[in-house]
Structure 1
C-alpha cells in the first residue's frame, strides 16, 4: 500500500499571529524580531521580496527594507496559538507528529479506502483556519521528505499532491538547498564540484557521496532519490527530559541548592539544543527530610535557552520551598517538547548572545558538557553544621 504522509505548515506563523491581532498589518512589509542588535525571527512575504530573511541581523534587514514595520514579537502568544492548532489537528488526525512550533506531519495511509486523502487534508486545513484564524499550507506525498519539500514549493497557501510516480520528476529540477537538513557547509562543498540540483545529486554513487561528507552521505543520497522510510512519530505532550539529585546528607544550604539547580538547567538546556528540542513546561521538584514531596510547574514560551529557563526555575523554587525544612532531593523537568531550534529568546537577545551560545555549544560538543559553564552552576559543597 502506498504511504500517505502529510506535511502541514502554518504560513509565516509569527507574522500571521500578529496580523490576526491587528488586521492593519495585512499587505505591508512586516518584520518580527528584536531591537537594533537583534535578529529577524520571521518576516512577511512583502519583506522577503526585498531580500529580508529569518536569522538576518535587524540592521541589515532594515537597510534592505527601511519601510518595514518592526514588531518585537510575543513568544507566549505564539506558543498558545500553536497549542490551539495542535488541539484541532490532534482531534481529527489518526497519527500526528508535531515537528516544531508551526509544523506537523500526519500519517493518513489507508484513508483513501474510505475517504479521499487529499480532500480530507483540505478539510482539516480549512478547519484549522476556521477555528484559529491562521493560514496553513500542506502537501501530501509518500514520505516526510517529499511532503516537506512540496509544502515549501506550494507556499503561500498552496496545497500540492505528489504521488509516488511523480516524485522523481518533482524533485529533479529543484536546488539541493530544498533538501531538509542540508546545511550551508555541505551545500558549498557540493556546489564547488558542480552539484547544484537534486537530479545531479541523486545520480551520484552513494559510496562516493558517503566518502565526501561522511556518515550522512547515504541519508542525503536517499533523500535526493525520494527515499525516506522514517515513520510519523505520534505526538505526546508528556515527553520530557529531567535531572534529579539526592543529597548524601539532608541540607538547607540555599546558595548551594540554587547553584546546583543552575548547573542542572545548563545540562538540560544543552541537551535540548543538541537534540533540537524546545520546551514549553518547566517543573521543579523537592523532597523534604521527612520524605514529603512537592512539585510546582509553569508554562513558558518554547525555548532551549539556559538563562530563560534558569530564571523560571529559581522563581518556581522560591515559591515552592516554604517550610524551611532540610531537603534530601531536588529535581528539574522540562516537558511539552517540540522539535525546533529557536535556541534563545529571539525577540530580546542580541546577535552577540546568539554567537555566544553557538560558541559555548561548539566547545561542549568537542570537550564535553562540563567544558563551559556559569560560575553560578559550579558544584558547591553543602555546608556542614
Structure 2
C-alpha cells in the first residue's frame, strides 16, 4: 500500500490496537521533538502569555539571536537562529525573554523521565529532542503507535507538547517528526519508507546542507527518491565520505541502534559580545566567566579534562583557537582560567576587537598516559599564569558554590567577572545536548 494511503493517527489517541497495521518484526524508532520548547515553557509559567507571540532569545538591540519562537510568533515569519532585530521588525508586539535555562533543563528532565519509563533505549540528542527504541518485545509489547500516543498524552500533562515521528530508522523518524507540528504524530510503517521519502527535497535529510544540495542538483539529483536510486559512484564523487553516510540514511542501511548513553567529547561555553571587546579587562573577565561555567559543568558531570582550548572570533568574523594539553587533569575553575590566560596571547593582543570568546575542556581520561613534569612543585600541571595564583581555599569555595547552584540554578552564584561579562553579552543561547556537552 502506498504511504499516502496508510491511515495516520489523528491527534494523540486513544487508538484501538485492532485498527493499527501490524508492525511485524522490524525495528521501531521514535523521534520525540518538543514543540517550540523554550517558548512553551514560558507560556506554561506565564498564563498571560498563552496564545500570544513569545520570543526567547537575545536582545534585538544587542546582536541577539532568536533561540525559540512560539507558534504565534512563527505566524509572522519568526524562526530560530534569526537575528533578533529582524524578528522584532517582523513581530513588533512580541513578548521577549532571554530565557531561564535552568527551568528548561528541569522540564526537559521530566520529559526524558517519561521516555525512559517507556523504554530504556533512549538517546537524548538535544534539550528538546530524543530518540527512543520501542521495537515490540524489546522493552514492552505495545504497538509503537500506542507508545507514541501515550507519550504525547503524558508529556501534555507536564504542560508542554511534542511531535513524534515513528519509523524503522532514525533518519526517517526525524523527518516524520517535522511533518505535522505542533503535536503531530506521523507514522511510516515498515515497507513504506520509499513512498514517504521519494518526493521530499534533499534538504529534508539530516546532513544535506546548501552546498551538498547544490552539488547533487548539478547531477540531476533533486529529491530523496533520486538520491535512493543514484549510483554510489556518482554520489561519492560529489560528496566524498559524506555521500556514503547520506546513502545509508536514505536507503535505511545505517546503524540505527539507539544507545542509551553517548560519549562526552568536550564541555564548552562561549559568549558573544554585544559590543566588540578590545581591552584586557573585558576579555579576561569573559574568559574567567567561561572558565567558571565549564568548571561547574565538568564537576556536575563527574569529569576532569586534560586539554583546554581557547576560542576567539574577531570583528571580521574569522575565528582562531589555541590549545594546551595538561599533565594532570582538572575540573577547577581556577586551573582552567590560568591555562586560558596562558593561551590568550597566542590568539589575541590588546586592542584587537573580539565578537566572541570561549573555553572548551576535553581529553577526559587521557591524562593517565601523560608523564609528570620533572620539575613538579606540587602545583597543578597547568602552572598558574604569573600573578594569577588561585586562592588557598579554592576547593572549598567551589564546593560551596556548586551546592548552591545545584539547588537554585547555574546563575544563583556568580563571581564579579561573571556579572561584568553579562552586561556586554547578546543574551542568546543554544539548544545543544544538555546545553553544554558535545
TM-score relative to the length of structure 1 = 0.65
Q: Give the Cα–Cα distance (whole angstroms) in 2 for the partners of residues 136 and 175 of structure 1.
A: 24
Q: Would the alpha carbon gap of residues 258 and 150 (structure 1) be closer, same or farther in structure 2, given more than 3 Å must change? A: closer
- What is the CA RMSD across the aligned residues, in angstroms? 4.0
Aligned partner of 2:225 among 199, 204, 212: 199
User: 1:303-382 to 2 correspondence within 5 Å?
Assistant: 348-349=425-426
Aligned partner of 2:152 among 116, 122, 125: 125
Residue 158 (structure 1) aligned with residue 187 (structure 2)? no
Q: Give the Cα–Cα distance (whole angstroms) in 2 for the partners of residues 166 and 110 of structure 1.
A: 18
> By how many angstroms is 1:186 displaced?
1.7
Aligned residue number for residue 56 of structure 1: 82
Range that drifts further, 255-264 or 182-191: 255-264
Aligned partner of 1:31 among 33, 39, 55: 55
8 Å contact kept, 1:111–1:117:
no
> By how many angstroms is 1:23 displaced?
2.3
Q: Give the Cα–Cα distance (whole angstroms) in 2 for the partners of residues 46 and 71 of structure 1.
A: 15
Residue 224 (structure 1) aligned with residue 250 (structure 2)? yes
**Which consecutive unaligned segments of at least 5 residues does structure 2 have?**
1-24, 265-299, 307-325, 344-357, 365-379, 382-394, 431-438
> By how many angstroms is 1:240 displaced?
6.3
8 Å contact kept, 2:66–2:83:
yes
Aligned residue number for residue 269 of structure 2: none
Residue 266 (structure 1) aligned with residue 359 (structure 2)? yes
Range that drifts further, 224-233 or 13-22: 224-233
Per-residue CA deviations over 1:80-132 (Å, capped at 9, x if unaligned) read: 111121222223323111111011111111339832221122112211221x2
Residue 21 (structure 1) aligned with residue 14 (structure 2)? no
Aligned residue number for residue 103 of structure 1: 129
Aligned partner of 2:102 among 71, 76, 82: 76
Residue 145 (structure 1) aligned with residue 189 (structure 2)? no
Q: Give the Cα–Cα distance (whole angstroms) in 1 for the partners of residues 121 and 301 of structure 2.
A: 16
Residue 243 (structure 1) aligned with residue 243 (structure 2)? no
Q: Would the alpha carbon gap of residues 176 and 65 (structure 1) be closer, same or farther in structure 2, given more than 3 Å must change? A: same
Aligned partner of 2:141 among 91, 102, 114: 114
8 Å contact kept, 2:122–2:260:
yes
8 Å contact kept, 2:171–2:250:
no
Aligned partner of 2:193 among 154, 167, 184: 167
TM-score relative to the length of structure 2 = 0.58
Q: Give the Cα–Cα distance (whole angstroms) in 2 for the partners of residues 270 and 38 of structure 1.
A: 32
Q: Give the Cα–Cα distance (whole angstroms) in 2 for the partners of residues 138 and 57 of structure 1.
A: 28
Aligned residue number for residue 322 of structure 2: none
Q: Give the Cα–Cα distance (whole angstroms) in 2 for the partners of residues 55 and 49 of structure 1.
A: 16
> By how many angstroms is 1:48 displaced?
2.1
8 Å contact kept, 1:202–1:224:
yes
Q: Would the alpha carbon gap of residues 255 and 146 (structure 1) be closer, same or farther in structure 2, given more than 3 Å must change? A: closer
8 Å contact kept, 2:202–2:222:
yes
Q: Secondary structure at the match of 1:154?
A: coil
8 Å contact kept, 1:88–1:128:
yes
Q: Would the alpha carbon gap of residues 199 and 270 (structure 1) be closer, same or farther in structure 2, given more than 3 Å must change? A: farther
Q: Secondary structure at the match of 2:183?
A: coil
8 Å contact kept, 2:216–2:238:
no
Q: Give the Cα–Cα distance (whole angstroms) in 1 for the partners of residues 87 and 360 of structure 2.
A: 34
Q: Secondary structure at the match of 1:230?
A: coil
8 Å contact kept, 1:89–1:128:
no
**Which consecutive unaligned segments of at least 5 residues does structure 1 have?**
248-253, 272-285, 288-292, 316-344, 355-385
Aligned residue number for residue 331 of structure 1: none
Q: Would the alpha carbon gap of residues 110 and 73 (structure 1) be closer, same or farther in structure 2, given more than 3 Å must change? A: same
